[in-house]
Chain A
Amino acid sequence: MKKQIFAIAAVAATCFTLGANIAHAEERIHIVGSSTVYPFASYTAEEFGQTTRYKTPVIESTGSGGGMKLFCAGDGLNTPDITNASRRMKAKEFKLCAKNGVNDITEVVIGFDGIAIAQSKANKGINLTRKQIMLAVAAEVPNKAGTALIPNPYHKWNEIDASLPNRPIIFYGPPTSSGTRDAFQDLVMKHLTKHMDVYTKLYKADKKKNKKYKKYKTIRTDGVYVPSGENDNLIVQKLIKDKNAFGIFGYSFLEENSDRVSAASIEGVQPEPDAISSGKYPVSRSLQFYVKNDHLKKVKGMQEYINLFVSEDMIGRDGNLTDIGLIPLPDARREKARHDTSVHKKLTLADLK
């Protein structure tokens, strides 16, 4: 019995000494968020660690949604200081932040990313429209007459459009936690379905029950769209093995693997830096990070890190980040990013609507 008591006491003592160990000053910036912004953020973090005497920030690649959840969990120093996102913060997430006492947030846009629909280089070039892609990946699509919705019957591209090749439809794309997937759904699916009567009339008929049909974006789950983890390299490898497949990932991966995969043109436009930043390439999005302003004074070097990130050296036209695939913002918007961070411009709910 004595032994038992001793053992329990030992366990308890270990736990409590651990608990007492914690209250130390925040020496290091903690960053979470998007796997698309991760390469740029970690590059900047390393630059920051190597060229200043501050410690290198820690960056966890959690996906945009996962990052928001951690970021908005509270205002304490044990929560992340910055979260990266490959889409804008959702109103829902802003409210969660506010509820947990995170009220003073600055949004900083750092550049663009184009979402590439890529295939193995062994294939001939292909041109797709957003409509064709939507019909290929949506869970429910209009029937031939366009009067009602049916579960997606398409398994070959030429079933969607006779001009397309007789090739099985298969997509390797990001899973639900990914900002790339959110952006793909917004830019390709919602963009079309919100104007398509066959979807919206269902919503109008029963607004509560059929809410998802207002801006329909459900991706099919019958094995045609294969969620492939947050690891974009895996998608590239699958494309090389499966010549029929298309992969969905960010422009920087396309650039790095341009000897192995090539991008489909979307409505005649290839994802190239100029076409993406000018908005000609239809499937592109902005990359940003969100700063918890309450932490600026408490975490060493946080403002300096942000200043470095928005400097011309990093996000400028010939900045270091463009070398690794970031598509720079127009001059005026880069200037705005620097201005916003210097005055700690507060994000409001109205900004996100």
Chain B
Amino acid sequence: MSKQVLANMKTNKRLRKRYRKEKLFKGSAIFALSLAAAFLVFFFYNIINQGYSALVQAQILVDVQYNEASHKSYRKAIDKSYRKIVSRGWLRTLPIYMEDHPEVMNTVRNEWVVATADVDQYLKGKSNRLKDKQKRQIDKLQEEGKVKLSFNSNFFTNGDSKMAELAGIKSALVGSIYVLIVTLLVALPIGVMTAIYLEEFAPDNRLTQVIEVNINNLAAIPSILFGLLGLAIFINFFGVPRSSALVGGLTLALMTLPVIIITTRAALRAVPHTIREAAYGLGASKWQTVWHHTLPLALPGILTGSIIGLAQAMGETAPLLIIGMMAYIPDTPTGFTEVATVLPAQIFTWAGESIRAYEERTAAAILVLLSLLLSMNSLAVWLRKRFETRW
């Protein structure tokens, strides 16, 4: 009797110890999770707080003179008193606009036009370089309703600019899309084919083992090395134009390839062997087995892996530095061999600008990039949920 009590106490003690250990383990896991969540919340709070104000931009209502005199000297298009507060970046485009739209000649139009970045920052209550006289002028215009903060469409329809009020992300966004298309077209077929060969056809010998180890190794290599590789192979050897979307896409394809190969192989391996055997049993050839059965079943996994690989490529900057895509490129590319820049590169360039109005634009560009990445990753999750087969 007493022996049993003693034994019970012993197990209880051990049990309590085990429970304690479990609690500790669980607690530290929760702590790690909440720490990560806190970082994330802080980061989002910081970026959104800085970036949301870039979505509006100051505009001023002025009379714009379209005539010979202002065609010759664009400053004459508006009244002298406005010259310091209306963006010169907009004014200077007037002569070409007049040439392209002759119907506006010899008219005076009352238009909302872009104000300078300093006026914009003043209205937003941020540091600016306006003189007191100009501040009074803006205050007065505001009373008359001739100054407003309205949606900053320039941010989405313009390329980079040295005048913060005109700077936008269009060229970088379009550049990113071009680069991703090249990356997808090159990396997906090559990656999937390689994986199919290695998984379904290749004999298990020394050579394939070496290749396997190398592919796994490549996936972990610092991305800047792919930039050096891209410079040596694509630019110096094949003569692909420097800074072009093509060379960027090819370089990022090199970087994405190992990721696609590895995920594709994992997806193929997850297809049960019985499926293949059933196909062989019905007399299917190896090609038919892969094409009709294994590949379709592995497709959700392949797509998920590829999308995540592409999202990774989209946020990459280091290799692009080497191949000349971190540059001042305000024109939107119209072809794959045109010079292009990408969103993360644009963010990097703006972060280095000395003019303060770029701070909010940098944050806003980060928000755009983040939401793109988020939507790509959700697409990956959705595809997996939608088409996944459970065995």
7 extra interface residue pairs, beta carbon distance < 8 Å, beyond A11-B190, A28-B339, A50-B92: A46-B161, A46-B163, A49-B330, A56-B330, A78-B239, A253-B354, A255-B354
Complex partner residue of B239 from A19, A35, A53, CB under 8 angstroms: A19
Interface residues of chain A: helix, strand, loop or mixed (majority): helix
Given contacts A51-B92, A259-B127, contact A18 B352 (CB under 8 A): no
In the complex, whether A150 has a CB less than 8 A from a CB of chain B is no
Smallest CB gap from B330: residue in A: A56
- Docked complex: B228-253 residues within 8 A CB-CB of A: 234-235, 238-243, 246, 250
* Contact yes or no, B239 A42, CB < 8 A: no
Chain B residues whose CB sits within 8 angstroms of the CB of A53 once the complex forms: 96
Complex partner residue of B353 from A21, A24, A46, A233, CB under 8 angstroms: A233
Q: How far is the CA of A86 from the CA of B352 in the complex (A)?
A: 18
Q: How far is the CA of A47 from the CA of B329 in the complex (A)?
A: 13
Q: How far is the CA of A259 from the CA of B250 in the complex (A)?
A: 44
In the complex, whether A203 has a CB less than 8 A from a CB of chain B is no
In the complex, whether A220 has a CB less than 8 A from a CB of chain B is no
* Contact yes or no, A233 B351, CB < 8 A: yes
Q: How far is the CA of A34 from the CA of B242 in the complex (A)?
A: 18
* Contact yes or no, A231 B352, CB < 8 A: yes
Chain A residues whose CB sits within 8 angstroms of the CB of B327 once the complex forms: 58-61
| Shortest distance between the CB of B242 and any CB in chain A (Å) | 7
Given contacts A4-B197, A58-B243, contact A51 B355 (CB under 8 A): no
List 19 contacting pairs A-B, 8 Å CB cutoff, sorted by A: A3-B193, A15-B238, A19-B238, A21-B240, A22-B240, A28-B339, A46-B330, A50-B93, A51-B92, A53-B96, A56-B330, A58-B328, A60-B328, A78-B239, A231-B352, A256-B354, A256-B355, A320-B88, A325-B354
| Shortest distance between the CB of A39 and any CB in chain B (Å) | 7
| Shortest distance between the CB of A28 and any CB in chain B (Å) | 7
| Shortest distance between the CB of B365 and any CB in chain A (Å) | 15
Q: How far is the CA of A236 from the CA of B218 in the complex (A)?
A: 37
In the complex, whether B152 has a CB less than 8 A from a CB of chain A is no
Complex partner residue of B354 from A30, A42, A59, A232, CB under 8 angstroms: A232
| Shortest distance between the CB of B194 and any CB in chain A (Å) | 7
Binary contact track B329-358/A, C-beta < 8 Å → 1, others 0: 111000001010000000000011111100
Complex partner residue of B328 from A38, A253, A255, A320, CB under 8 angstroms: A38
- Docked complex: B76-97 residues within 8 A CB-CB of A: 88-89, 92-93, 95-96
Smallest CB gap from B186: residue in A: A14
Chain B residues whose CB sits within 8 angstroms of the CB of A42 once the complex forms: 162, 328
- Docked complex: A55-101 residues within 8 A CB-CB of B: 55-56, 58-61, 78
Given contacts A18-B240, A56-B330, contact A24 B162 (CB under 8 A): no
Smallest CB gap from A47: residue in B: B92
In the complex, whether B324 has a CB less than 8 A from a CB of chain A is yes
Q: How far is the CA of A263 from the CA of B240 in the complex (A)?
A: 46
Chain B residues whose CB sits within 8 angstroms of the CB of A293 once the complex forms: none
Smallest CB gap from A252: residue in B: B354
* Contact yes or no, A18 B250, CB < 8 A: yes
In the complex, whether B31 has a CB less than 8 A from a CB of chain A is no
Q: How far is the CA of A276 from the CA of B355 in the complex (A)?
A: 22
Q: How far is the CA of A55 from the CA of B340 in the complex (A)?
A: 13
Q: How far is the CA of A284 from the CA of B123 in the complex (A)?
A: 36
Q: How far is the CA of A255 from the CA of B129 in the complex (A)?
A: 10
Q: How far is the CA of A230 from the CA of B162 in the complex (A)?
A: 18
Smallest CB gap from A23: residue in B: B239
In the complex, whether B114 has a CB less than 8 A from a CB of chain A is no
Q: How far is the CA of A11 from the CA of B331 in the complex (A)?
A: 31
Chain B residues whose CB sits within 8 angstroms of the CB of A259 once the complex forms: 127
Chain B residues whose CB sits within 8 angstroms of the CB of A60 once the complex forms: 243, 324, 326-328
- Docked complex: B180-235 residues within 8 A CB-CB of A: 186, 189-190, 193-194, 196-197, 201, 234-235
In the complex, whether A7 has a CB less than 8 A from a CB of chain B is yes
Highest count of chain A CB atoms <10 Å: which of B95, B162, B186, B250: B162
Smallest CB gap from B327: residue in A: A60
Chain B residues whose CB sits within 8 angstroms of the CB of A22 once the complex forms: 238-241, 337
Smallest CB gap from A11: residue in B: B190
Chain A residues whose CB sits within 8 angstroms of the CB of B161 once the complex forms: 46
* Contact yes or no, B331 A3, CB < 8 A: no
* Contact yes or no, B356 A256, CB < 8 A: yes
Chain A residues whose CB sits within 8 angstroms of the CB of B243 once the complex forms: 30, 58, 60
- Docked complex: A230-259 residues within 8 A CB-CB of B: 230-233, 252-253, 255-257, 259
Given contacts A7-B193, A30-B242, A233-B351, contact A59 B127 (CB under 8 A): no
Chain B residues whose CB sits within 8 angstroms of the CB of A352 once the complex forms: none
* Contact yes or no, B242 A46, CB < 8 A: no
Chain B residues whose CB sits within 8 angstroms of the CB of A3 once the complex forms: 193, 196-197, 201
| Shortest distance between the CB of B88 and any CB in chain A (Å) | 8
* Contact yes or no, A233 B352, CB < 8 A: yes
In the complex, whether A349 has a CB less than 8 A from a CB of chain B is no
Chain B residues whose CB sits within 8 angstroms of the CB of A45 once the complex forms: 328, 330
Q: How far is the CA of A50 from the CA of B190 in the complex (A)?
A: 42
Counting from the closest, the 6 A-B pairs by CB-CB distance are: A256-B354, A59-B328, A60-B327, A42-B328, A43-B162, A19-B238
Q: How far is the CA of A21 from the CA of B247 in the complex (A)?
A: 12
| Shortest distance between the CB of B134 and any CB in chain A (Å) | 14
| Shortest distance between the CB of A271 and any CB in chain B (Å) | 15
Q: How far is the CA of A39 from the CA of B190 in the complex (A)?
A: 41
Smallest CB gap from A22: residue in B: B239
Q: How far is the CA of A60 from the CA of B326 in the complex (A)?
A: 7
| Shortest distance between the CB of A16 and any CB in chain B (Å) | 8
Q: How far is the CA of A46 from the CA of B234 in the complex (A)?
A: 29
Given contacts A28-B339, A47-B92, contact A232 B193 (CB under 8 A): no
Given contacts A42-B162, A51-B95, A58-B328, contact A232 B352 (CB under 8 A): yes
Chain A residues whose CB sits within 8 angstroms of the CB of B238 once the complex forms: 15, 18-19, 22
Chain A residues whose CB sits within 8 angstroms of the CB of B356 once the complex forms: 256-257
In the complex, whether A10 has a CB less than 8 A from a CB of chain B is yes
* Contact yes or no, A39 B239, CB < 8 A: no
- Docked complex: B123-142 residues within 8 A CB-CB of A: 127
Smallest CB gap from A77: residue in B: B241
Q: How far is the CA of A252 from the CA of B327 in the complex (A)?
A: 20
Q: How far is the CA of A102 from the CA of B95 in the complex (A)?
A: 38
- Docked complex: B297-333 residues within 8 A CB-CB of A: 324, 326-331
Chain B residues whose CB sits within 8 angstroms of the CB of A15 once the complex forms: 238
Chain A residues whose CB sits within 8 angstroms of the CB of B95 once the complex forms: 51
| Shortest distance between the CB of B331 and any CB in chain A (Å) | 5
| Shortest distance between the CB of B126 and any CB in chain A (Å) | 11
Chain A residues whose CB sits within 8 angstroms of the CB of B355 once the complex forms: 256, 324
| Shortest distance between the CB of B203 and any CB in chain A (Å) | 11
Smallest CB gap from A40: residue in B: B162
